Chain A
């Protein structure tokens, strides 16, 4: 993978004989050779580093009907219409089982590659989708942080990395990528993640466009960019960086990553079948980028629709089925590539649902829920205590595991770096990785 500077040097310099590269870009190359002194240091990625895929279940996944406490009378009592009977589940032990829409995860559990964390939440939970999502993404239960937990990982552990150290397959940047130095990149669709010229002398115009969007000099500080203070705003930014310099940096990141991502997306063809659902397409894209050897440490994908206030059974089972089939294709694909052991996938959702079903056979916003960790690097099994279904707080489960402890386990166990500066505190980890 090329750094910004290498990219400029090789790609644009090679083409600079063409008149379309204006003088101001050409002059920059002389500086670039001088600038090789601060060639970015690449974090451990490339062909052998570990990769984390974060999968958001947006809308508040009903943990109770995902990891089902089928043996609990209180469950059946609270949900006369929604409760799963024992024959409708994949038994994990004598108390809980998986929703039967997830046969693949069931088999993964038996193989020891699925970790199920029960009762995950945080103190004084917030039932707003937005606030609670923000809390999960910033790992700040006060919801005051300008940066996200993944962004802080980039800042702390991936100094000098390529912009594609993090890729979010979203229209907008997830808050968890918020960083002071390197917020990763986002794209919603590789085909559209490029400058669309639209007819005419395409190559010429695109080359010209490229030169317009190459900053004259990317003025990152030479020595690994030590930045102490955020410039403000949820995206962070480099202290003292002007708006124009910021825009040029993002433009350059977009160009560098767009070229690379398009190239890889076009090149690698998967042999595994994926469904046409958005989540399957996203995971297909992730797998293609992994196969292509992107230096990306963290991918972020979303699976929406979990806000099941109404007639939950059909929609929730359908969503879990889509998730299961997408994961099945994804891990089969990784296996075929020989990358299966490099990837751990973690799900999260902003909150669970209320224990009792509501009048429209749905569930309202609740609190604690479950999350999954999947992959060969995971030590499978059940983690955390299933919250009591009778000792409730205003109709909601009380959390037994702080989500920041799960993050800490992933950061230390899988990304192999100290979690404390990233999470701004110590949280008890669990032996779920390694």
Chain B
């Protein structure tokens, strides 16, 4: 067990827990959270009072509708084959192309809906740790719209992550073997007896459970044979294990012989000692700090194994530990773009986000939901920041804090005027319009609430209040004094909401604000 922290805690520690185990909160939310005491606050995070289905899925993402659509699709494909049979090759190509283009349009539209749905959930949820863990699993078992192409499969995988958010990692890994999005992403869908595809077998060991160096190439080859025969039924989306396509022969994996199937391999994996170290290490990096100390991971690995790979006790141990609240840990994590955005909205007490703008901001800042760059997920920490993304963060903050009235909008890709790269596909016109609408209509935060008029009469109090809102820690005295001076110069008749927005923008345009 990690040495525990006492139940008494400071409001800064409470804010730290809410930032790391969630997406932060408004000053009032932090005060309520602090009043619970450390232990009850951790309990509240781990046992949230919010149903798993509290946020209804987009209609097309429900299992029933999805299955119905799949049947229709299969029929359409058959019909199109019939129709193109008598056409010239050119005509047939054109028909097929039109068919595919329409599919792609719909798929892009749905991807954007799914991205908006999840972002809104993160912003509004009363179960922030759960959503933060969903993001953790999405990064860990990374799959992307770019290869999977069917948004419904990713949103259902997202629901899987929510069900298992703090549950058994072992059970979740068993589920992932039969998850349709993962099967398409890592090619288990097309892995057949006699021609096994090693993609999933390799990643499940290297990235998902054991880590490099804890298996042999032979283990991968043999495990790949065991992951054959899993198929997605194109008629209803169900995953089945087709005995005829599966390699049922004897395999030798981790020096054990047996006629293993996919589940058998997962069971074998969890008998390896490395399986109890990888996730504690990643969780430490995700919630606490990079480069975890060996003793810390030793302690957690033991707890993890004793708990039969359940996540909940592991998180409790971390959030109640002394190390989690160490001085060098607090406010020293570079926010991911998603953390940055959600936390900023919460701190500004915004309940709604300009949806298309948020998606565009994710692209500019380098983390688009449902589109991790590869199976290893995103690179965290310093990798989020370069000169371009840092300036983009400052400018996104400018747009959000000030609203659209006199702001030069941060331009979207492909809108023509700027020097834009054509790295990604151009966004469909509809999304481009939504983006323009979002830019035109964004009113900005309610500054009467964020910085009440009375407070503006006292620059010192105003700054302290805003610094607590945005940093939840005492900022260096020099920086504080600089902001106080700025506020002083704006005091009195000119200190309108516009000046408040400007001040907030400056406070957010700092290296310090990039840290959580």
From residue B407, how far is it (CB to closest CB) to chain A in Å?
4
Q: Is the Cβ of B498 less than 8 Å from the Cβ of A188?
A: no
Q: Is the Cβ of B334 less than 8 Å from the Cβ of A243?
A: yes
Does B274 sit within 8 A of A, measured CB to CB?
no
Across the interface, B374 reaches (CB within 8 A) one of A20, A130, A258, namely A130
Across the interface, B394 reaches (CB within 8 A) one of A183, A195, A278, A302, namely A195
Binds A, one of B12-20, B228-236, B250-258, B376-384: B376-384
Give the residues in chain A near B381, CB-CB below 8 Å.
Answer: 232-233, 243
Give the residues in chain B near A169, CB-CB below 8 Å.
Answer: 419, 421
Give the residues in chain B near A281, CB-CB below 8 Å.
Answer: 419-420
Q: Is the Cβ of A212 less than 8 Å from the Cβ of B509?
A: yes
Q: Is the Cβ of B478 less than 8 Å from the Cβ of A198?
A: no
Closest A-chain residue to B513, C-beta based? Answer: A247
Contacts A198-B408, A243-B333; is A278 near B421 (CB within 8 Å)? yes
Q: Is the Cβ of A24 less than 8 Å from the Cβ of B478?
A: yes
Does A226 sit within 8 A of B, measured CB to CB?
no
Contacts A244-B332, A247-B385, A250-B390; is A171 near B421 (CB within 8 Å)? yes
Q: Is the Cβ of B290 less than 8 Å from the Cβ of A232?
A: yes
Q: Is the Cβ of A304 less than 8 Å from the Cβ of B511?
A: no
From residue B291, how far is it (CB to closest CB) to chain A in Å?
7
Does B512 sit within 8 A of A, measured CB to CB?
yes
State in angstroms the CA–CA spacing of A131 and B363 once bound together: 20
Does B389 sit within 8 A of A, measured CB to CB?
yes
Q: Is the Cβ of B387 less than 8 Å from the Cβ of A257?
A: yes
Does B55 sit within 8 A of A, measured CB to CB?
no
When each residue 478-512 of chain B gets 1 if its CB lies under 8 Å from chain A and 0 otherwise, what string results?
11011001100100000000110010011001111
Give the residues in chain B near A82, CB-CB below 8 Å.
Answer: none
Q: Is the Cβ of B515 less than 8 Å from the Cβ of A244?
A: yes
Across the interface, B419 reaches (CB within 8 A) one of A183, A186, A189, namely A189
State in angstroms the CA–CA spacing of A232 and B381 once bound together: 9
From residue B305, how far is it (CB to closest CB) to chain A in Å?
26
From residue B388, how far is it (CB to closest CB) to chain A in Å?
4
Give the residues in chain A near B290, CB-CB below 8 Å.
Answer: 232
Q: Is the Cβ of A172 less than 8 Å from the Cβ of B93?
A: no
From residue B411, how far is it (CB to closest CB) to chain A in Å?
7
Q: Is the Cβ of A233 less than 8 Å from the Cβ of B332?
A: no
Query: Which residues B364-397 have CB closer than 8 A to chain A?
Result: 364, 366, 373-374, 379-383, 385-392, 394-395
Closest B-chain residue to A209, C-beta based? Answer: B509
State in angstroms the CA–CA spacing of A189 and B363 once bound together: 15
Give the residues in chain B near A242, CB-CB below 8 Å.
Answer: 332
Q: Is the Cβ of B334 less than 8 Å from the Cβ of A213?
A: no
From residue A60, how far is it (CB to closest CB) to chain B in Å?
13
Q: Is the Cβ of A258 less than 8 Å from the Cβ of B391?
A: yes
Contacts A171-B421, A171-B423; is A183 near B509 (CB within 8 Å)? no
Q: Is the Cβ of B420 less than 8 Å from the Cβ of A244?
A: no
Give the residues in chain A near B49, CB-CB below 8 Å.
Answer: none
Q: Is the Cβ of B511 less than 8 Å from the Cβ of A193?
A: no
Q: Is the Cβ of B478 less than 8 Å from the Cβ of A22?
A: yes
Q: Is the Cβ of A192 less than 8 Å from the Cβ of B382?
A: no
Does B474 sit within 8 A of A, measured CB to CB?
no
When each residue 184-201 of chain A gets 1 if its CB lies under 8 Å from chain B and 0 otherwise, what string results?
011111111111111110
Across the interface, A200 reaches (CB within 8 A) one of B379, B476, B486, B499, namely B499
Residue among A191, A192, A282, A310 having the largest count of chain B Cβ atoms under 10 Å = A192
From residue B345, how far is it (CB to closest CB) to chain A in Å?
19
When each residue 313-343 of chain A gets 1 if its CB lies under 8 Å from chain B and 0 otherwise, what string results?
0000000000000000000000000000000
Does A387 sit within 8 A of B, measured CB to CB?
no
Give the residues in chain A near B394, CB-CB below 8 Å.
Answer: 195-196
From residue A329, how far is it (CB to closest CB) to chain B in Å?
14
Give the residues in chain B near A253, CB-CB below 8 Å.
Answer: 387
Give the residues in chain B near A282, CB-CB below 8 Å.
Answer: 419, 421
Does A251 sit within 8 A of B, measured CB to CB?
yes
Does B194 sit within 8 A of A, measured CB to CB?
no
Does A173 sit within 8 A of B, measured CB to CB?
yes
Across the interface, B482 reaches (CB within 8 A) one of A130, A172, A211, A232, namely A211
Contacts A163-B387, A171-B363, A209-B509; is A311 near B418 (CB within 8 Å)? no
Does B514 sit within 8 A of A, measured CB to CB?
yes
From residue B264, how far is it (CB to closest CB) to chain A in Å?
28
Contacts A192-B411, A211-B482; is A304 near B387 (CB within 8 Å)? no
From residue A42, how far is it (CB to closest CB) to chain B in Å?
19
State in angstroms the CA–CA spacing of A307 and B405 once bound together: 40
Q: Is the Cβ of A185 less than 8 Å from the Cβ of B387?
A: yes
From residue A319, how far is it (CB to closest CB) to chain B in Å?
10
Give the residues in chain B near A185, CB-CB below 8 Å.
Answer: 386-388
Q: Is the Cβ of A173 less than 8 Å from the Cβ of B402?
A: no
State in angstroms the CA–CA spacing of A235 and B386 once bound together: 9
Closest B-chain residue to A59, C-beta based? Answer: B423
From residue A184, how far is it (CB to closest CB) to chain B in Å?
9
Query: Which residues A200-244 have CB closer than 8 A to chain B?
Result: 200, 205, 208-209, 211-213, 215, 231-235, 237, 242-244
Q: Is the Cβ of A187 less than 8 Å from the Cβ of B418?
A: no
Closest A-chain residue to B379, C-beta based? Answer: A234
Q: Is the Cβ of A23 less than 8 Å from the Cβ of B424?
A: no
Q: Is the Cβ of B421 less than 8 Å from the Cβ of A186?
A: no
State in angstroms the CA–CA spacing of A22 and B423 once bound together: 41
Q: Is the Cβ of B395 less than 8 Å from the Cβ of A213?
A: no
Q: Is the Cβ of A195 less than 8 Å from the Cβ of B395?
A: yes
Does A92 sit within 8 A of B, measured CB to CB?
no
Does A305 sit within 8 A of B, measured CB to CB?
yes
Does B96 sit within 8 A of A, measured CB to CB?
yes
Closest B-chain residue to A205, C-beta based? Answer: B502
Does A83 sit within 8 A of B, measured CB to CB?
no
Q: Is the Cβ of B388 less than 8 Å from the Cβ of A186?
A: yes
Q: Is the Cβ of B386 less than 8 Å from the Cβ of A233?
A: no
Residue among B97, B332, B395, B511 having the largest count of chain A Cβ atoms under 10 Å = B511
Q: Is the Cβ of A278 less than 8 Å from the Cβ of B398?
A: no
State in angstroms the CA–CA spacing of A244 and B390 once bound together: 13
Give the residues in chain B near A196, CB-CB below 8 Å.
Answer: 394-395, 398, 407-408, 410
Does A246 sit within 8 A of B, measured CB to CB?
yes
Does A90 sit within 8 A of B, measured CB to CB?
no
State in angstroms the CA–CA spacing of A187 and B364 once bound together: 11
Query: Which residues A346-374 have CB closer than 8 A to chain B?
Result: 360-361
Give the residues in chain B near A23, CB-CB below 8 Å.
Answer: 478, 481-482
State in angstroms the CA–CA spacing of A254 and B332 once bound together: 21
Q: Is the Cβ of A198 less than 8 Å from the Cβ of B366?
A: no
Residue among B332, B392, B424, B482 having the largest count of chain A Cβ atoms under 10 Å = B482
State in angstroms the CA–CA spacing of A196 and B422 once bound together: 23
Q: Is the Cβ of B423 less than 8 Å from the Cβ of A19?
A: no
Does A6 sit within 8 A of B, measured CB to CB?
no
Does B406 sit within 8 A of A, measured CB to CB?
yes
From residue B317, how far is it (CB to closest CB) to chain A in Å?
24
Does A156 sit within 8 A of B, measured CB to CB?
no
A and B contact pairs by CB, cutoff 8 A, 30 listed:
A22-B485, A24-B476, A58-B423, A171-B363, A171-B421, A172-B386, A183-B386, A185-B387, A188-B421, A189-B419, A191-B418, A193-B387, A194-B391, A195-B394, A195-B395, A209-B509, A231-B382, A234-B379, A234-B383, A235-B385, A235-B386, A244-B511, A247-B334, A247-B515, A250-B385, A278-B419, A278-B420, A281-B420, A282-B421, A304-B423
Known: A192-B395, A235-B379, A302-B421. 13 other contacts (CB 8 A): A22-B479, A24-B479, A170-B423, A185-B387, A199-B406, A233-B383, A248-B511, A250-B386, A254-B391, A258-B387, A278-B419, A278-B420, A361-B93
- What 7 pairs across the A-B complex have the smallest Cβ distances? A22-B482, A24-B478, A247-B511, A199-B406, A254-B387, A189-B418, A198-B407
